[in-house]
Amino acid sequence: MSIAKPIFIIGAGRSGSTIFHKMFANHPNVAWLSGLCDKYPRQPSINRSFMRAIDYPIVGRYLKRIITPGESYGFWEHHCKGFRQPCRDLLPQDVTNKTKDKIPGVLSEMLTGKRNRLLFKITGWPRIGFLQEIFPDAKFIHVVRDGRAVVNSVINTDWWWGWRGPQNWRWGELTPAQREEWEEHNKSFIALAGIQWKILMEAVEKAKLYVDQNNYFEVKYEVFCSQPGRTFRETVDFCELRRSSKFLDSINRHALRDTEHKWKKELTPEQQQIVNAVTGAYLQKHGYMAKTQSTGASR
């Protein structure tokens, strides 16, 4: 079975893409990567068997509780070296003939007659150009969240490498302008996390130029939390999937909490000033500085 219009959810870490992905995976026509892909990267047919099993009424509900959608970087890395943690965004010219020939065939083994559209989630570098080179008709959904909330969330994770300094993190060397900005704020880690968010937002701005505008879609996390039904109706239409009433009912059963206020409570006034200064341009571009967040998802 050939792959048509695969769907990639992208976004900076801690932007809400995980819950968006998890909810989207309930659509009856999408196949997604699970922990089975990391455990058995050479046997994608095992994940296909799982996709078939979750469509059985009783056993399916049980299986979906114990095996959930994931980014499956172990699987990607097995089939495409360097995909997991590149020091910069992956571009079209990074795609080798081997990768271009291999990846579609491997992934097609996960499709079923019913679940015939692949759904992926990838955080960090967008990798849009790289993926679009392999899948020219791919659909990309960028989940965007207020950068100040992202910064506050990132510095509270166990996996943020910024504490080691930019010479030891995953996002390449700082440019002279970025280093100057960091030093301006006395090498604040809040500033560094803000620079990281900005690096990833800039990467998306560049990468989305590789795709037709009709294949790129943005979802604001805050709007998604307040209007999940509307957000997914627009998302399903963008992806050219059918509007399943059962799927939309499942969306409305999720209790979503918008925790955007936490950064104001948890960061000091000085830290708030720093994160506003560092991320300000992109905050303003996406409507966060003015807090006019009434426009839903947008292409």
Please state, in angstroms and rounded to a whole number, the distance separating the CA atoms of residues 296 and 194.
24
pLDDT for the residue numbered 293: 38
Encoded amino acid at 295, one letter: T
Encoding tokens for residue 150?
């992202």
Span between the terminal Cα atoms of the chain, in Å = 29
Residues 6+ apart with CB under 8 A from 165: none
- The DSSP bridge partners found for residue 228 are none
Residue 188 makes CB contacts below 8 A (sequence gap 6+) with 182, 271, 274
Tokens 């690096």 belong to residue: 199
What average pLDDT does range 140-155 have in this prediction? 97
Domains of the chain in sequence order: 7-285 (3.40.50.300)
Q: Are strands 7-11 and 117-123 parallel, antiparallel or unpaired?
A: parallel
Rounded Cα distance between 63 and 9, Å, is 23
Residue 257 has pLDDT above 90, yes or no: no
Whole-number average pLDDT of the chain: 94
What average pLDDT does the segment 260-280 reach? 95
pLDDT at 295: 36
d(CA 84, CA 67): 21
pLDDT by residue (tens digit) across 169-199? 999 999 999 999 999 999 999 999 999 999 9
Digit-coded pLDDT (tens) for 121-145: 999 999 999 999 999 999 999 999 9
Query: To which residue do tokens 């341009």 refer?
Result: 281
**In the structure encoding, which two tokens stand for residue 162, read together?**
């910024």
pLDDT confidence band for 290 (50 / 70 / 90): low
3-class SS at 261?
coil
Query: What local confidence, expressed as pLDDT, does residue 299 receive?
Result: 52
User: Phi/psi at 204 (nearest 5 deg)?
Assistant: -65, -40
The answer to whether 80 touches 120, Cβ cutoff 8 Å, is: no
Q: Which residues contact 167 (CB under 8 A, 6 or more apart)?
A: 173
- pLDDT tens readout for residues 57-100: 999 999 999 999 999 999 999 999 999 999 999 999 999 999 99
- The residue among 169, 117, 132, 167 whose CA lies nearest residue 13 is 169
Instruction: Write down the pLDDT at residue 296.
Output: 44
Assess contact for 168 and 161: CB atoms under 8 A: yes
pLDDT at 261: 84
